[in-house]
């Protein structure tokens, strides 16, 4: 439950600098906060509000709209099983039931050891590889029940961590632009909103 | 069986192990179209794209060249936004393009920005697609370092920054005005049109183009080969090729690039190089021709061509290129419920008919499935649907009743609400007996 670390605050300022208007950086900054702690705390939201010059309520207003942002701690691995139409037709519901039995929790809950949070998710755009699931937004396609068991065992034992980072780490590669390559033309001539100074 | 022998346009690198790297892209004519475009000048590029008759591949199917032409003259800065928020159930064709050929998208975007004189571009990628994010970030970093993006592109004096933006899980953000709201750091709720047509008042209320990933991935080929060559593929009204995500009960689910207009749904389902037929030798029950929002088709519509101008009057839409096949082991009520649950869950809450209606549709279907259905529930479902989408709902011809052409009418700002009515109307229209067994006997007709 903390503000952004100094490194992440610097990263946040870099991200903000890429947009003609700073508030556009809000969702990327919420991802940075979630990467730091695995969820988005009120302190992190207050810090982001300071960085963007908006209120914490405005940050929460946006944050609470989007399903990926967790407003309370979740498991180290968030397992999202797709049960939407293409997966439904090929065993998505049975896959979810198997995960529930294997982890001992219902969809929406976290295991007692804090290792897994299980979710019944909407279509994850892997319809031609149904049934499928994601762990921390990494895909496991055409997955069988046996493969699910092996995957959970591996993750519990600390294996496959290079394949599946801990929850919050959305992208391990960030956009980097050398200052001399950045053109900075994006905001030129953009009118300011009423009441704001440049 | 019409299997096109036309060379693929956008899927050429999807099977290449190094297709996502700059080296792999440059080895396969990468960034040569950009160089050509820079030599042609913006107006000539715009004319080629117009001549190509490239229809948007996101769902609405609006011609890209016409969309660009709507930008008001002399109003700057203009912005360009890539819609990579693919989330329509059944659709999985933009994700492979972003994961396995990110430079093709970047080059298409660069050329497009050059043509419309955009000040800056944003690639809005669906949050859940971690690999697409990583591949696009890597590709942008490579392209910036190599001088293809940023200041003084390829020594031409023209500059453009591209920012990779992350979504965070909201289907509605695929609607272009909701995407713009989201890109401004707001809740992803659609804007009223008019006045907020993106071309006039888009990002930061400036003229803005929002194009789909697949649409833009066609641009390098069009510049290289000319708009006329693209328009020569397919038919007059449906030019070029298109990616179709074929899923459900076929032997070979997959993403296939097929020529528009000349290929039929039957070809896509049955041809050995595509679907290979219904699995286990089962019978086709129904299929969704264009993503979860589309009214269903039945075996009688299999011979329709993959062409929006054919599918629309027949009572549905090609939409996002998602074809979902349901065989005779499918419970129509359960399939409808799962689709409606999606729309109920993804309603942004702005318009009452969608927010309230969608939730009630889902609850009524749930109680029917749970064995607590009431006799008048079928009429109740249709009545709630009529409040979201008034009047005759689009559907194919059936039992002597003529087709009602697409699109649906709506009491909402965007089409998400009426989309929830599609599975309900489609399943009741053809499979009312399955509803009755659920309601009267409390069980599924499949046992």
Across the interface, whether the CB atoms of B166 and A170 are under 8 A apart is answered yes
Burial class (CB in 10 A: 0-12, 13-18, 19+), A178: exposed
Which residues are CB-contacts of B145 (< 8 A; sequence separation ≥ 6)? A178, A181
A79 vs B401, which has greater pLDDT?
A79
- Examine residue A162 and state whether it is found in any structural domain, yes or no: no
How far is C-alpha A145 from the chain's CA centre?
A: 25
Chain B residues close to A174, C-beta within 8 Å: 137
Please answer whether residues A76 and B237 qualify as being in contact, where contact means their C-beta atoms are separated by less than 8 angstroms.
no
One digit per residue, pLDDT tens: chain B, 447 residues? 456 677 899 999 999 999 999 999 999 999 999 999 999 999 999 999 999 999 999 988 899 999 999 999 999 999 999 999 999 999 999 999 999 999 999 999 999 999 999 999 999 999 999 999 999 999 999 999 999 999 999 999 999 999 999 999 999 999 999 999 999 999 999 999 999 999 999 999 999 999 999 999 999 999 999 999 999 999 988 999 999 999 999 999 999 999 999 999 999 999 999 999 999 999 999 999 999 999 999 999 999 999 999 999 999 999 999 999 999 999 999 999 999 999 999 999 999 999 999 999 999 999 999 999 999 999 999 999 999 999 999 999 988 889 999 999 999 999 999 999 999 999 999 999 999 999 999 999 998
Nearest to B388 by CA among B350, B416, B423: B416
Any domain includes A34: yes
| Omega cis (within 30) before A131 | yes
Q: Identify the closest residue of chain A to B324 by CA–CA distance.
A: A86
| Interface with chain A: mutation pick from B58, B85, B89, B419, highest number of A CBs within 10 Å | B89
Distance CA B97, CA B255 (A): 11
A185 falls within a domain: no
Helix (H) and strand (E) counts in chain A: 7, 4
- A8 touching chain B per CB within 8 A: no
Interface of A with B in 147-176 (CB under 8 A): 170-176
Inter-CA distances, B121 with A19, B21, B51, B163, Å:
10, 21, 24, 6
Contacts of B400 by beta carbon, 8 Å cutoff, 6+ apart: none
Minimal Cα distance from A133: which residue of B? B128
Helix (H) or strand (E) holding A153: helix A145-156
Among A24, A83, A171, the residue with its CB nearest the CB of B183 is A24
The per-residue pLDDT for B61 is 87
Same domain, yes or no, for A84 and A146? Answer: yes
Whether A1 shows a pLDDT value over 70: the answer reads no
pLDDT value at position B6? 74
pLDDT at B314: 97
Q: Are residues A37 and A84 located together in one domain of the fold?
A: no
Extents of the domains making up chain B:
22-231, 241-327, 332-441
Task: For chain B, say whether A81 makes contact (Cβ under 8 Å).
Answer: no
Which pair of tokens denotes residue B18? 């190094």
Q: Quote the pLDDT of residue B439.
A: 98
**pLDDT value, residue B3:** 66
Same domain, A30 and A96: no
Tell me which chain B residues have a C-beta less than 8 angstroms from the C-beta of A65: 170, 187-188, 348
Chain A contact present for B444, CB below 8 A: no
| Number of domains comprising chain A | 2
CATH number at residue A18: 1.10.10.1590
| Per-residue confidence (pLDDT) for residue B2, from 0 to 100 | 58
Q: Does the beta carbon of A31 lie under 8 angstroms from any beta carbon of chain B?
A: yes
Minimal-distance CA residue of chain B relative to A87:
B248
Query: Which residues 6+ apart lie within 8 Å of B432 measured at CB?
Result: B378
* Cβ contact B210:B198 at 8 Å: yes
Pair of tokens at residue B396: 């194919």
Residues 124 through 183 of chain B touching chain A, CB cutoff 8 Å: 126-131, 133-134, 137-138, 140-141, 144-145, 147, 149-152, 159-161, 163-171, 182-183
Is B300 buried (19+), middle (13-18) or exposed (0-12) by CB count in 10 A?
Answer: exposed
Q: Do residues A85 and A147 both lie within one domain?
A: yes
Q: What is the architecture, at CATH level 2, of domain B332-441? A: Up-down Bundle (1.20)
Q: pLDDT per residue over A124-147, tens digit each?
A: 999 999 999 999 999 999 999 999
Q: What is residue A197's predicted lDDT score, i.e. its pLDDT? A: 59
Which residue bears the tokens 């039945």? B298
Helix (H, G, I), strand (E, B) or coil at A78: strand
Q: Which residue of A has its CA nearest to B185?
A: A24
A148 plus A81 within the same structural domain = yes
Say if residue A55 is in the same domain as residue A107: no
Quote the pLDDT of residue B178: 98
Question: What does the pLDDT read at residue B222?
Answer: 98
CB A86 within 8 A of CB A75: no
| CB nearest A28 (choices: B129, B165, B253) | B165
B90 φ/ψ sector (left φ>0, alpha ψ -120 to 50, else beta): left
Q: How far is B229 from chain A (nearest CA, A)?
A: 30
A40/A97 same-domain check: no
Whether this model's ipTM surpasses 0.95 comes out as: yes
**Which residues of chain B lie closer than 8 angstroms to A27, CB-CB?**
165-168, 182, 185
What pLDDT sits at residue B304? 97
Give the list of residues 6+ apart from residue B178 with CB closer than 8 angstroms, or none.
Answer: B170, B172, B188, B189, B190, B191, B348, B414
User: B96 to chain A nearest CA, in Å?
Assistant: 9
Domain residue limits at A15? 6-63
Domain containing residue A119: CATH number: 3.40.30.10
Asked whether this chain's domains B22-231 and B241-327 adopt the same fold, the reply is no
What is the architecture of the domain spanning B241-327?
Roll (3.10)
For residue B398, give the DSSP letter. Answer: B
Omega within 30 of 0 (cis) for the link into B195: yes
Whether domain B22-231 has CATH 3.40.50.20: no
The answer to whether B88 contacts A123, with C-beta atoms less than 8 Å apart, is yes
Q: Which of chain B's residues have a Cβ under 8 Å away from the Cβ of A186?
A: 77, 79, 119-120, 161
Name chain B contacts of A61, Cβ cutoff 8 Å: 187
Q: How far is A29 from chain B (nearest CA, A)?
A: 10
* Cβ proximity of A66 and A27 under 8 Å: yes
Q: How far is B113 from chain A (nearest CA, A)?
A: 12
pLDDT at A193: 78
What whole-number distance in Å separates Cα of residue B326 and Cα of residue B313? 23
Q: Within the 331-350 window of chain B, which residues sit less than 8 Å (CB to CB) from chain A?
A: 334-335, 338-339, 342, 345-346, 348
Residue A77 binned pLDDT confidence (cut-offs 50, 70, 90) = very high
Distances from the Cα of A162 to the Cαs of A38, A158, B223, in angstroms?
17, 10, 40
Distance, in Å, from the CA atom of B43 to the CA atom of B169, rounded to the nearest integer, reads: 37
Give yes or no: residues A85 and A139 share one domain.
Answer: yes
Give the residue from B321, B314, B325 showing the smallest Cα distance to B284: B325
Question: B interface mutation test: which of A81, A88, A108 has the most B CBs within 10 A?
Answer: A88
The candidate with the shortest Cα–Cα distance to A127, out of B335, B249, B375, is B249
A45 and A85 belong to one structural domain? no
A139 in contact with chain B, both atoms CB, cutoff 8 A: yes
Mutate to test the interface with B, among A186, A196, A198 (most CBs of B within 10 A): A186
Q: Which of A83, A136, A186 sits opposite B161 (nearest CB)?
A: A186
A85 part of a folded domain: yes
Strand pairing report for B322-327 and B284-288 = antiparallel
Residue B278: how many other CB atoms lie within 10 Å: 20
Residues A152, A82 within the same domain: yes
Domain membership flag for residue A54: yes
Encoded tokens for B219: 């641009």
Pair of tokens at residue B335: 């399939």
What Cα–Cα distance (Å) separates residue A169 from each residue in A72, A137, B42?
A: 16, 9, 40
Angle at B62 between CA B167 and CA B324, to 5 degrees: 65
CA–CA min distance B72, chain A (Å): 15
Span A56-81, average pLDDT: 98
* Tokens representing residue B20 in the block: 């996502």
CA distances from A190 to A22, A23, B52, B114, B208 (A): 13, 15, 32, 19, 13
Distance from CA of B145 to the nearest CA of A (A): 7
pLDDT score of B398: 86
Query: For the segment A9-52, what is each residue's pLDDT rounded down to a tens digit?
Result: 999 999 999 999 999 999 999 999 999 999 999 999 999 999 99
If you write DSSP's letter for every residue of B241-301 in order, what string do you get?
Answer: EEEEEEEESBSS-EEEEEETTTSBHHHHHHSTTTT-SBGGGPPEEEEESSSTTSPPB-GGG
pLDDT above 60 (res A115)? yes
């Amino acid at each position: 439950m903390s503000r952004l670390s100094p490194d992440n605050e610097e990263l946040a300022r870099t991200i903000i600098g890429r947009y003609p208007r700073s508030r556009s950086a809000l969702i990327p900054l919420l991802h940075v906060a979630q990467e730091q702690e695995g969820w988005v705390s009120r302190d992190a939201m207050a810090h982001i509000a300071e960085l963007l010059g908006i209120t914490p309520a405005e940050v929460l207003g946006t944050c609470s709209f989007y399903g990926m942002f967790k407003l309370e701690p979740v498991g180290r691995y968030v397992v999202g099983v797709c049960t939407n139409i293409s997966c439904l037709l090929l065993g998505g519901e049975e896959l979810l039931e198997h995960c529930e039995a294997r982890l001992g929790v219902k969809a929406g809950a976290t295991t007692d050891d804090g290792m897994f949070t299980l979710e019944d998710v909407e279509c994850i755009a892997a319809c031609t590889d149904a049934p499928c699931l994601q762990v921390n937004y990494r895909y496991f396609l055409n997955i069988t029940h046996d493969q699910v068991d092996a995957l959970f065992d591996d993750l519990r034992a600390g294996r496959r961590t290079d394949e599946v980072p801990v929850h919050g780490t959305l992208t391990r590669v960030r956009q980097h632009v050398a200052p001399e390559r950045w053109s900075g033309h994006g905001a030129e001539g953009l009118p300011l909103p009423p009441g704001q100074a440049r | 069986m019409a299997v096109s022998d036309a060379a693929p346009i956008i899927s050429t690198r999807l099977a290449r192990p190094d297709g996502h790297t700059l080296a792999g892209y440059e080895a396969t004519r990468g960034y040569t179209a950009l160089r050509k475009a820079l030599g042609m000048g913006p107006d000539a590029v715009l004319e080629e794209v117009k001549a190509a008759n490239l229809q948007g591949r996101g769902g609405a199917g609006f011609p890209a060249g016409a969309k660009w032409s709507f930008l008001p003259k002399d109003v700057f800065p203009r912005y360009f936004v890539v819609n990579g928020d693919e989330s329509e159930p059944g659709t999985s064709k933009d994700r492979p393009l972003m994961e396995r050929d990110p430079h093709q998208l970047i080059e298409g975007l660069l050329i497009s920005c050059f043509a419309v004189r955009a000040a800056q571009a944003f690639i809005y990628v669906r949050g859940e697609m971690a690999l697409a994010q990583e591949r696009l970030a890597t590709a942008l970093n490579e392209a910036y370092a190599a001088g293809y993006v940023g200041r003084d592109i390829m020594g031409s004096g023209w500059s453009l920054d591209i920012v990779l933006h992350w979504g965070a899980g909201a289907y509605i953000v695929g609607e272009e005005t909701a995407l713009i709201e989201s890109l401004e750091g707001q809740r992803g709720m659609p804007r009223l049109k008019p006045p907020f047509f993106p071309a006039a008042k888009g990002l930061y209320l400036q003229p803005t183009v929002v194009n789909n990933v697949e649409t833009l991935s066609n641009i390098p080929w069009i510049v290289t080969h000319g708009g006329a060559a693209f328009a020569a593929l397919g038919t007059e009204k449906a030019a070029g090729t298109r990616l179709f995500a074929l899923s459900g009960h076929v032997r070979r689910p997959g993403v296939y690039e097929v020529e528009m207009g000349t290929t039929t749904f039957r070809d896509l389902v049955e041809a050995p190089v595509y679907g290979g037929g219904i699995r286990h030798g089962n019978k086709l029950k129904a299929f969704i021709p264009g993503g979860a929002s589309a009214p269903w088709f039945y075996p009688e519509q299999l011979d329709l061509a993959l062409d929006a101008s054919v599918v629309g009057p027949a009572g549905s839409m090609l939409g996002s290129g998602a074809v979902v096949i349901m065989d005779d082991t499918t419970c129509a009520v359960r399939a409808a419920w799962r689709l409606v649950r999606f729309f109920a869950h993804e309603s942004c809450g702005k318009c009452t008919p969608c927010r309230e209606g969608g939730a009630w549709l889902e609850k009524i279907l749930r109680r029917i499935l749970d064995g607590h259905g009431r006799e008048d529930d079928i009429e109740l479902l249709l009545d709630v649907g009529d409040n979201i989408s008034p009047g005759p709902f689009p559907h194919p011809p059936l039992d002597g009743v003529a087709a009602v052409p697409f699109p649906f009418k709506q009491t909402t700002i965007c089409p998400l609400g009426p989309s929830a009515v599609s599975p309900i109307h489609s399943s009741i229209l053809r499979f009312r007996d399955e509803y009755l067994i659920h309601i009267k006997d409390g069980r599924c007709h499949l046992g």
